[in-house]
Amino acid sequence: MNERENSVNSTDYVYRAIHPNRNFIKADGSISSAAFKDPKGLSVEQGLGRADKDVVTHIRQAKLQGKITKISVKVCINANITIYNDKAKNIYHRLLLNRPYDHNGNNTLTKTQARALATNISALL
């Protein structure tokens, strides 16, 4: 693990805004694992001790309007998902990767990892 795959607190959470066009919402209202598959890595915000409403406000400032999923870091750890600090301007921004970051490769989460996220959402904000 390099310095960017930072050690994370397992009691923390990551937050992912689901695109608002309803493409990823199932008939029963739950979220499809397809929402968590992105070859560029899955953009999330890490909580880092913030209250949910503060995270939501921060994400909304970036003009992301869809529902926001809150997922425990424990779920990521158990699914062997790499939480990668890409040192973006947004200090809370992280990428969820299927393995250590590959600049040229496909960083899509595996099916097992994407489903682990989709079926372990702590809250929809």
**Residue ranges in contact with another protein by CB under 8 A:** 19, 21, 23-24, 26-27, 32-35, 37-40, 43, 106, 108, 111-112, 115
Closest CA to 48 of 78, 98, 91: 91
Give the DSSP H/E element, type plus range, for residue 60: helix 52-61
Shortest CB 57 distance to another protein, Å: 19
Give the DSSP H/E element, type plus range, for residue 43: strand 42-46
CB 76 within 8 A of CB 110: no
Shortest CB 2 distance to another protein, Å: 24
Which residue, 4 or 115, has its beta carbon nearer to another protein? 115
Which residue, 34 or 88, has its beta carbon nearer to another protein? 34
CA–CA separation, 14 and 19 (whole Å): 16
Which residue, 19 or 87, has its beta carbon nearer to another protein? 19
Which residue, 9 or 111, has its beta carbon nearer to another protein? 111
3-state SS class at 96: strand
Shortest CB 56 distance to another protein, Å: 18
